[in-house]
Structure 1
Amino acid sequence: MFAGVEHPALTDGELTLRSLRTRDARELERVLLENRPWLQPWEATLPGGSGNWNVRGAVRSLLEQSGQRTAVPWVLEVGGQLVGQLTMSNIQWGAVLQGTIGYWVAQSVAGRGFTPSAVAMATDYGFRQLGLHRVEICIRPENGPSLRVVEKLGFRFEGRRDRYIHIDGDWRDHYCFGLVRDEVPQGVLARWRAGDVDERVAARPETGPLS
């Protein structure tokens, strides 16, 4: 299996973001199975696919994309235990310089601030180390916890993409949020920690201004 590109580990307190490795497949599968009811409504699926669940194949694909410099896949660890996965994918170079963040976390660590920390660190890495200009996150309108992540970090609402990604067996609408590097010269994580985020930029037309 392709080894991919090893990136430096990122840490924030007890949270570590480190590069995905081939040997992570078994532990990822265990955590995903334990959290199946929690995660399945948000999992990408293949239109017309068999529905077979292939974690090793997904890891292989991510590592191949890493070697091609079109993705940076990380795993999330808390206290040395694997609790999730985050990928900067669809990386475009040249005149675009952007990437898309997707992630999942185990239910046992949800709501403890690890997800916004991970997204902030990954975005900072994209801007500072990869040299990206823009980072986006696309979220289903029904996914309240993920919407709170982009609100906390000050990702700007950019619009709605109808029937955008095949999720849990059907084409699902998504909201799109973005940040460009010039908006956060101090860094996404530092801005959030300092309490300098204007959450109103993430407001959707359906919700109105955020208080």
Structure 2
Amino acid sequence: MPDVRYVAEGTRAAIRHTRREDAAEFTRRARESMPFHRPWLTLPTSESAFQHYIAQLEREDREGFLVHALETGDMAGFININNIVRGAFQCGSIGYGAFPPAAGQGYMSEGLGLVLRHAFGPLGLHRVEVNIQPGNKASIGLVKRHGFRLEGFSPDFLYIEGAWRDHERWAMTSDMLNQRTDPG
């Protein structure tokens, strides 16, 4: 990938901002990942859907990142900070997804750590939240490893794959970042 400018690098993974030029690779990986992501999330699988997706990420209240495997440069997944609210709140909601075969290889865990350091550092956020469907054990394990705390349950929270889905609400504040159990 020419002219890669990572926002941050770890030992095995790096993050960079999602760009319009990522459409072909992102949508290809999203199409390949459809069975893996059901019923947890729906990703843009066409050029027009990606253009809508990237337009949302270009808003002032969002930051979109791609996670890459440093060894190969391959796109391992994405992590977005959505609904950033400034003022007294200084909070954002994180959403993410891995692309097989990178899923379960630790890239997303390291990538999430990099995004959290960016959120609590340069972005100046005080709090981030993640909403996870109760059956998504991999996602719950990811946030637990990073020290998020379970704060509640929201029935019929998000409309995904044709149904209103229940979600658990997990959160972390900036002072919790250094208390994580997983260094990635």
Superposition TM-score, scaled by structure 2 size: 0.87
Out of 133, 150, 168, the residue aligned to residue 157 of structure 1 is: 150
1:42 aligns to 2:32 (yes or no): no
Inter-partner Cα distance in structure 1 for 2:99 and 2:45:
18
Out of 86, 110, 122, the residue aligned to residue 115 of structure 2 is: 122
Out of 24, 27, 34, the residue aligned to residue 26 of structure 1 is: 24
Inter-partner Cα distance in structure 2 for 1:8 and 1:41:
31
What's the Cα RMSD here?
Answer: 2.1
Question: Which deviations, in whole Å up to 9, do the C-alpha atoms of 1:54-89 show, x marking residues without a partner?
Answer: 543444344434443210001121121112111011
CA deviation after TM superposition for structure 1 residue 8, in Å: 5.2
1:13 aligns to 2:7 (yes or no): no
Counterpart secondary structure, 1:41: coil
- Residue in structure 2 matched with residue 192 of structure 1 by the alignment: 182
* Stretches (4+) displaced over 4 A: none
Inter-partner Cα distance in structure 2 for 1:67 and 1:36:
24
Based on CA coordinates, which of the two structures has the bigger radius of gyration? 1
| 2:12–2:110 CA contact under 8 A, matched in 1 | no
Inter-partner Cα distance in structure 1 for 2:107 and 2:6:
18
Q: Give the partner amino acid of 1:68.
A: R
- Residue in structure 2 matched with residue 70 of structure 1 by the alignment: 61
Q: Give the partner amino acid of 1:87.
A: N
CA deviation after TM superposition for structure 1 residue 183, in Å: 2.4
Out of 92, 104, 109, the residue aligned to residue 99 of structure 1 is: 92
Q: Give the partner amino acid of 2:59.
A: Q
Inter-partner Cα distance in structure 2 for 1:101 and 1:12:
19
- Aligned length, in residue pairs: 178
Question: Which deviations, in whole Å up to 9, do the C-alpha atoms of 1:141-160 show, x marking residues without a partner?
Answer: 01010010011111010000
| 1:31–1:83 CA contact under 8 A, matched in 2 | no
Give unmatched runs, 5+ long, in structure 1.
Answer: 1-6, 46-52, 195-211
- Residue in structure 2 matched with residue 145 of structure 1 by the alignment: 138
Q: Give the partner amino acid of 1:94.
A: G
Q: What percentage of aligned pairs have identical amino acids?
A: 28
Higher helix share: 1
Inter-partner Cα distance in structure 1 for 2:49 and 2:116:
22
Superposition TM-score, scaled by structure 1 size: 0.77
- Residue in structure 1 matched with residue 166 of structure 2 by the alignment: 173
